Amino acid sequence: MKKSYKIDVDCPNCAARMEEVAKKTEGVIDAVVNFIALKMKVEFAEGVDEKEVMELVRRNCRKIDSDCEIFV
């Protein structure tokens, strides 16, 4: 299942790192961050609770950039 989320991030480098972090988060198969459109597209693994996974993604992203936001 794929879902698109609005995000807020300041620099493109941080966006790239958010993408890396999101990809490594458990329950996420693939993630793509579009810095210009400020969108994060996440493909979830079968049967996971997307809300929980996104909470984890946000926490992991905050570790690399404290300013970033994901609107779930």
Partner 1 sequence: MTRKQKKNLTRIVVAAIMTFSFHFLPLTGAPRFLCYLLPYLVVGYDVLLKAARGLRNGQPFDENLLMTVATLGAIALAVFSGSGDYDEAIAVMLFYQVGEWFQSCAVSRSRRSVSELMDICPDYANAETESGALERVDPSDVETGSVIVIKPGERVPIDGVVVSGESTLNLAALTGESTPRKVQSGDEIVSGSINQLGVLRVRTTKEFGESTASKILELIEDAGAKKSRSEAFITRFARVYTPIVVFAAIALALLPPVIMLAVDGAPAWRVWSYRALTFLVVSCPCALVVSVPLAFFAGIGGASRAGVLIKGSPVIEALAKTRTVVFDKTGTLTRGVFEVVAVHPDEFDETELLHLTAHVERYSPHPIAVALRAAYFRENDGCSVERVEELSGRGVRAVVNGHTVCAGNIKLMSESGAAPRACLDCHGAGVAIHVSEDGRYLGHVVVSDVVKTGAKDAIAALRRLGVKRTVMLTGDSERIAEIVAQELNLDEYHAELLPSGKVAKVEELLARENRGTETLAFVGDGINDAPVITRADVGIAMGAIGSAAAIEAADVVLMDDDPGKIAVAIRIARRCMRIVVENVWFTIGVKVLCLLLTATGLVGMWSAVFADVGVMILAVLNSARALSTRLSVV
Beta strands in the chain (DSSP E): 2-8, 28-34, 39-44, 69-71
Nearest alpha carbon to residue 2 among 35, 55, 39, 38? 39
DSSP state of 10: S
Q: How far is the CB of 57 from partner 1 (least distance, A)?
A: 15
Q: Which is nearer to partner 1, 43 or 49 (CB)?
A: 43
> Least Å distance between CB 36 and partner 1?
4
Q: How far is the CB of 46 from partner 1 (least distance, A)?
A: 21
Residues near partner 1 (CB under 8 A) are 4, 10-13, 16-17, 32-39, 41, 63-67
